[in-house]
A = this chain, B = another copy of it.
Amino acid sequence: MTVKNFTIQCPAPKASTDRIVMAHGGGGRMSQRLFEEIFRPAFANAALDARHDGALLALGGARLAFSTDSYVVRPLFFPGGNIGDLAVNGTANDLAMCGARPKYLSCGFILEEGLEIAKLQQVVETMRTAAEANGVELVTGDTKVVDRGKADALFINTAGIGVIEHPVSPTRIEAGDAIVVSGDLGRHGVAILSVREGLEFDSPIESDCAALWPQVERMFAEGIDVHCLRDLTRGGLSSALNELAAAAGFGMQVEENAIPVDAAVRGACEVLGLDPLYVANEGRFVAFVPARDAEAAARLLPGGAVVGAVTGEAAGRVWIQSRMGARRLLDMLSGEQLPRIC
């Protein structure tokens, strides 16, 4: 009886496993569980099991990468970009993270009845520009229309094919590898959230949404033996490192002091109650390179910084040395931080 009353007055948060919740799309622990429990058992195969940003395929003598993402970002237009360049850069970047030169994209539009065609045209124009920046061609596509109220103006799916130029993979991560980030963190998430929350800054924080292949290509061209790459999208740096530590079976340690975060982004994160290490980026990645190449890699990247190293201890876990000198576990994002960030 007492227990019953207690339950009614103060229900424990039930792990809602019978219905989809927003956190299933957040890129954190719940997304991972959905993948492990629903998708992976059904489609089990080597490419999917590799947990790469894309599938690595051998086809008729070609070594290809293949990747897809759907884009449901809200709002459609935000400082520094819109759903169009996000959709082109996002998938092209996933190919780049496989060490592949992006070549071809497909594009599926789901349009809500009533969408202004001028807006669609603006999005498509941005996609054209982004495709040029990535050196990809949009070669095949599809358009569906759903009734008013059954979509949110516009969703875009892109899938991409790239040609692998250098072997990068979580399995190539080694103890002693340096961890290099390609630029300052948190801009995309803060740009989106500041629009949603109506925050105003002296100078608006723009999304970092960008084509990453040109940066990756520069490292390859300079002869850096990049072991692994991962873009820091949903779940941010923390989730990417945790996924890779688990996949590679190594520990990792990063130094909070070394991780570049712009002062304005840091300030906005404090106002919004966010941790920039968990905030999504759309034009930043982490590279694992031999220690001897760490400084060279950081110099080649527009805002590159060596932020830590792979260690032999505590396999699968990521540690962070804080500004104050304390060492703590840097955990994976467990729920959702920012829904519909991409």
User: Nearest-CB distance from A72 to chain B (Å)?
Assistant: 5
Residue interface mask A124-167, B partner, CB < 8 A = 1: 11011001000001111111111101111001010101010000
Stretch at the interface among A31-39, A285-293, A300-308, A312-320: A31-39
Q: Would you call A145 and B38 a contact (CB within 8 A)?
A: no
Partner of A141, one of B68, B121, B155: B68
Q: In whole angstroms, how far apart are the Cα atoms of A43 and B106 in the complex?
A: 11
The answer to whether A25 has its CB under 8 Å from any CB of chain B is yes
The answer to whether A262 has its CB under 8 Å from any CB of chain B is no
Name A31's closest neighbour in chain B (CB-CB). B143
The answer to whether A272 has its CB under 8 Å from any CB of chain B is no
Copies of chain A in the complex: 2
Task: Name 20 A/B residue pairs within 8 A (Cβ), A-sorted.
Answer: A19-B114, A20-B114, A22-B113, A24-B111, A25-B143, A25-B146, A39-B143, A43-B127, A47-B104, A57-B104, A57-B161, A60-B64, A61-B61, A66-B140, A68-B106, A68-B142, A108-B157, A145-B339, A151-B151, A151-B155
> Taking beta carbons and an 8 Å cutoff, which residues of A are in contact with B?
17-26, 31, 34-35, 38-39, 42-43, 45, 47-48, 54-55, 57, 59-64, 66-72, 103-104, 106-118, 120-121, 124-125, 127-128, 131, 137-147, 149-152, 155, 157, 159, 161, 163, 339-340
